[in-house]
Structure 1
């Protein structure tokens, strides 16, 4: 019988599901997975002879997840027990009625249910259309303890939508800020309140215009239609934080909370503030964070390994945001008319004690301290406010040493003097290059850099080293570049593997190293690299190529997501990571029903679409074969080393054999989890190889709304290799023509008036 199967036989292929009615009866039904959910409900109502119209009903599974057209096929295929319940329109009306009544204990029960139901788009639409947001805000303003925690959590989940909460007033922002400012606020209230404030910070026009780009690299804020949620942002939240005394102080104190979830929430809020700070207010934020010594608090988290495991992603995000902040400060010109700048310059000059030494200034001030001219703005143009900060910190660290060194240099012939201020600027440049303070949003560090957080202290040590090398080598004015190269070599040596080095070791390398030893090591290094590469113009060229390489790698990684790939569904090993209700099948020691999962990112970079399968199957281009999806905006962290291969699944890593049933689970180095504040782990996967692991974890970090960090050394090395190759290709054009590259470029004097114009090169032809 080679003909087509008959209709009765085809019908037997449709699985049978158990459906529980509202009155508790269980019925068995064969549901056609190709039908829309509305038709399925209509057929059930007809067969059960229900009086109410089908519009009043909905289907849910045992975990109360709403059955939709997107997940119906999966529910039927897995024979998931279903329940015929009230439709979202009925549930929304009932919950809003109870919120209006505000009667205990029905209010708490309704708020508890609201936390989960608000995730569903159908429910959220009905809830908002009945002024549910107004009632929810009123409850937040007047509730305490558990009721307040439930209400804030519901608000947090509602604000994950890109619509519906644009009517929130500044008074609501102020209320949430006050809640967070109280040290006695319970953890279950703090966590959703922090998430709400974080979402308000991120709801600025720039985020709507270019969610995948760092805030500092976007154009001017675009206009948005009335009713858009993209109307809050940093300024709105920061104004309220400034009006509540001690608010940011309490947030920083919570970084040391023994509850890692609270510390992570506070860390994410600080990261959002750093990432979204506006041009006019970022200096205020910088001063506040310095006053509260946030960097020291984060370094303590780095050293607390037990806590750092859960906070790794947030700490690296903070490190990346700090690079962004330092670059901003470095690129800000020093305006000598500002009172704060004048105070710093006056303090530096006073500390030199040249007024008391009877030195004949001859009208000079700053040239005596090592600048090449008296124009402080031009002298600090390369390093900006960051350079001024570092010079002031160097002076304040030991004012007696500074005064002694200045007087000592003044007593020497001009050509033998060490230009202290110029040396300070050079050290800032060398440290900026070492820590890749090139441009906002371009950082590929995959490891902790605790000494980057002590930039000023390292600058002080390195500047002292510069002065000592100058003296011990009997350098002259023309030897500045040679001494700079020595300092560059020592910085790389002293800060090698910095996450594992103690402070006293770094300090010893700068303060106790002998000139002869440093010179011998540098000579060996020069044998392996061209001295040309250490010149400032080449370093600037490398910085530009670094940005281009980073962007190229970023686009390549994102293309990998759009092409899609297979992964193994992992068993979560880290007990600190909660498991989402939709991932119940991945609970520890329980073999996934379907071990393989195919992921693909849509072209809008909004959703990760996927399908689970017992074996690898051909997947057509597009998204038709991928019925499930994960919202990219809900991914707050990509955590690694979190899952193990399930039993009886062929390992893709020969170094890690498949686990034996009943034996302790061993996390795979190729495993990762997509974590959400709301639902815990959205997915636990194991990559088939190291290349796929690197491509996907880094790409998922790069497309995160808050601008993630690079996760793997492979990507960081790739960016670095492309940078070096590009640099050498550029230099071939110059070296082939034997072009002399100067150590520094000096701009000529400005025009005396505005009676000039730039010539058009196209108007000129080469002379015959």
Structure 2
């Protein structure tokens, strides 16, 4: 049922004349109505959405006479004027039976039409859309469609019409088929201005899947591919072409694997160019990222065409959009690559000091890190730390001479022992067992058994060895202090180190696939080459300090988590939140923390 709201134009004309200082007498036909408006002052601005919501709140529409009538310049006078202004609608609504209860299949919406007044309608969701459009008296209803007027201007179809809610504003526009046909012809025009306008509009409307299906059914995407391959157009036209192509491909109607090698090489050339339009490079990086994520075959082609050198160069520009898209492509390459390729890529990035550059020029730049970039920093952190997963899941091999040598180096770095070569085998075994016990191993006769549990596996051996070699004084002090304490108050270095390494692996989520929405990156990661090992070195010393302050005993070990003041939860919490930017800040931030002994 259609309801004309021509009074809206009249009402807005009154408001417009008031704002311009003119009188509305030539608009208001009723003298008494004009007097009431004049007494009340300028009427409030009314938008189409205001009218819809008045329409939805039925009380005011059904009973115009129930409004309090007052005098003077108070609020009641404004109510009278409002009632008189909307009286044509009251009459229409009452005549159409507005008192009837709303049916569940009826939604009240507004429709904007070109060259005509907007209309309020009660849309019957059971009635075909073609019939609804025909009732709107549109010329050639087959060539028209309804579309959302606000936000994402998506076409209304039989499959998505149930998403329409009360108060929605739709507009009558060209149907997707007719729009696709017009743009398909415009793109092939001999006039460059027409081509540019058509491609610009294509980039906007291609976000709608209904239009995309119509345009692709005419092989419109192949037309865009040809424009790129020929590379004869200006940068502006090429940017619109690439944007439209990307939007069309995002719907998944056409497979990325159908693209030609020539097309891929051309897109890669836009990225590799040292002097190119920034907008064109941005969308080209976006296209290449989608290619890499779509199939292993395209990953190999893109990896061959786009040099890592150029990607790193794009990260060093001041344009944040280029930086973000370059980081997105880099993360796609790292996540898709096999173990061997990934190792080679990381070796190259480490050689270029990528993490240090990110730390100084992206994380600590004058501009704040945007959400999308934060996500890619999180992905880089996750992918890098996941390199430790194989060692985290590998137990110590008692038959490995290299691993046994690392264990004995821990003992030798902590204690000044007699020349072992001069000792008998029995004496040597006894001495080693005694020193491994002082180091805090549970199985002092065969300390490798302590490192059989996975996780943390060999990562625990790596962290202990790193601490002993990187900070020998702190390591010796830790071991000697605890070996000279009373037995019940000594902090077992090896046992504590294994548990601490496990906690670090859990906190840093080593071995977990990066989340598609995660953005929880740690700035300290980008300031250190050996994050896990450096964190361990700080935390093991904090653990020793806490142990002494709490006067903890061996019996407390299994029921205490002295690393963290919060109660143990499903996932350990940690001093990385708030995020410390450097190792020094991490240690400094924890020195003032007071710990208390508690039971679980």
TM-score bin, normalised by smaller chain: 0.5 to 0.7
1:271–1:93 distance in 2 versus 1, CA, 3 Å: same
Aligned residue in 1 for 2:142? 55
Aligned partner of residue 140 in structure 1, secondary structure: helix
Q: Quote the Cα distance in structure 1 between the aligned partners of 2:229 and 2:408.
A: 54
Q: Quote the Cα distance in structure 1 between the aligned partners of 2:280 and 2:583.
A: 39
Q: Does 1:168 align with 2:258?
A: yes
Aligned residue in 1 for 2:455? 382
Aligned residue in 2 for 1:159? 249
Query: CA offsets per residue over residues 316-374 of structure 1, 9 Å max, x none?
Result: 6743774576467346534999xxx99999999999999xx96549799x999977648
1:294–1:351 distance in 2 versus 1, CA, 3 Å: farther
**8 A Cα contact 2:268 2:302, kept in partner:** yes
Q: Quote the Cα distance in structure 1 between the aligned partners of 2:143 and 2:340.
A: 52
Aligned partner of residue 258 in structure 2, secondary structure: coil
Q: Does 1:506 align with 2:583?
A: no
Aligned residue in 1 for 2:131? 39
Q: Quote the Cα distance in structure 1 between the aligned partners of 2:389 and 2:283.
A: 36
Q: Quote the Cα distance in structure 2 between the aligned partners of 1:280 and 1:59.
A: 53
Q: Quote the Cα distance in structure 2 between the aligned partners of 1:36 and 1:301.
A: 57
Match of 1:138 among 226, 229, 236: 226
Aligned residues: 466
**8 A Cα contact 2:522 2:581, kept in partner:** no
Aligned partner of residue 307 in structure 1, secondary structure: coil
**8 A Cα contact 1:61 1:67, kept in partner:** yes
Aligned residue in 1 for 2:370? 311
Gaps of 5+ in 2: 1-61, 64-90, 100-107, 567-571
Q: Quote the Cα distance in structure 1 between the aligned partners of 2:381 and 2:243.
A: 30
Q: Quote the Cα distance in structure 2 between the aligned partners of 1:377 and 1:285.
A: 35
Q: Does 1:495 align with 2:581?
A: no
Query: CA offsets per residue over residues 31-87 of structure 1, 9 Å max, x none?
Result: 8553644335556678x5xxxx6434556788995653567998997787x6664x4
Q: Quote the Cα distance in structure 2 between the aligned partners of 1:73 and 1:316.
A: 31
1:75–1:296 distance in 2 versus 1, CA, 3 Å: same
1:484–1:397 distance in 2 versus 1, CA, 3 Å: farther
**8 A Cα contact 2:523 2:581, kept in partner:** no
Query: CA offsets per residue over residues 3-44 of structure 1, 9 Å max, x none?
Result: xx9999329999997744xxxxx3558685536443355566
1:447–1:322 distance in 2 versus 1, CA, 3 Å: closer
1:74–1:397 distance in 2 versus 1, CA, 3 Å: same
Aligned residue in 2 for 1:9? 95
Q: Does 1:429 align with 2:513?
A: no
1:194–1:17 distance in 2 versus 1, CA, 3 Å: same
**8 A Cα contact 2:143 2:177, kept in partner:** yes
Q: CA deviation at 1:378?
A: 5.0
Match of 1:93 among 181, 186, 204: 181
**8 A Cα contact 1:57 1:84, kept in partner:** yes
Superposition RMSD on alpha carbons, in Å?
Answer: 6.3
Q: CA deviation at 1:428?
A: 1.8
Q: Quote the Cα distance in structure 1 between the aligned partners of 2:319 and 2:267.
A: 21
**Superposed, which structure 2 residues align to 1:202-217 within 5 Å?**
none
Q: Quote the Cα distance in structure 2 between the aligned partners of 1:432 and 1:262.
A: 33
Aligned partner of residue 579 in structure 2, secondary structure: helix
Aligned partner of residue 130 in structure 2, secondary structure: helix
**8 A Cα contact 2:110 2:118, kept in partner:** yes
Q: Quote the Cα distance in structure 1 between the aligned partners of 2:285 and 2:585.
A: 39
Q: CA deviation at 1:115?
A: 0.5
Aligned residue in 2 for 1:122? 210
Q: Quote the Cα distance in structure 2 between the aligned partners of 1:419 and 1:125.
A: 67
Q: Quote the Cα distance in structure 2 between the aligned partners of 1:126 and 1:145.
A: 27
**Superposed, which structure 2 residues align to 1:704-743 within 5 Å?**
none
Q: Quote the Cα distance in structure 1 between the aligned partners of 2:164 and 2:264.
A: 41
Aligned residue in 2 for 1:450? 523
1:299–1:141 distance in 2 versus 1, CA, 3 Å: same
Deviates more, 1:175-184 or 1:129-138: 175-184
Q: Quote the Cα distance in structure 2 between the aligned partners of 1:396 and 1:178.
A: 47
Q: CA deviation at 1:188?
A: 0.8
Deviates more, 1:275-284 or 1:386-395: 275-284
Aligned residue in 1 for 2:31? none
Structure with higher helix content: 2
Q: Quote the Cα distance in structure 2 between the aligned partners of 1:495 and 1:178.
A: 46
Query: CA offsets per residue over residues 378-418 of structure 1, 9 Å max, x none?
Result: 547322465466456546746x7699899999x99xx9999
Q: Does 1:261 align with 2:261?
A: no
Q: Quote the Cα distance in structure 1 between the aligned partners of 2:558 and 2:450.
A: 26
Q: CA deviation at 1:91?
A: 3.6
Match of 2:538 among 437, 446, 461: 461
Query: CA offsets per residue over residues 84-136 of structure 1, 9 Å max, x none?
Result: 64x43344334445556787444433322220222233321122122222222
Aligned partner of residue 253 in structure 2, secondary structure: coil
1:463–1:44 distance in 2 versus 1, CA, 3 Å: closer
Q: Quote the Cα distance in structure 1 between the aligned partners of 2:473 and 2:342.
A: 33
Which structure has the larger Rg over C-alpha atoms?
Answer: 2
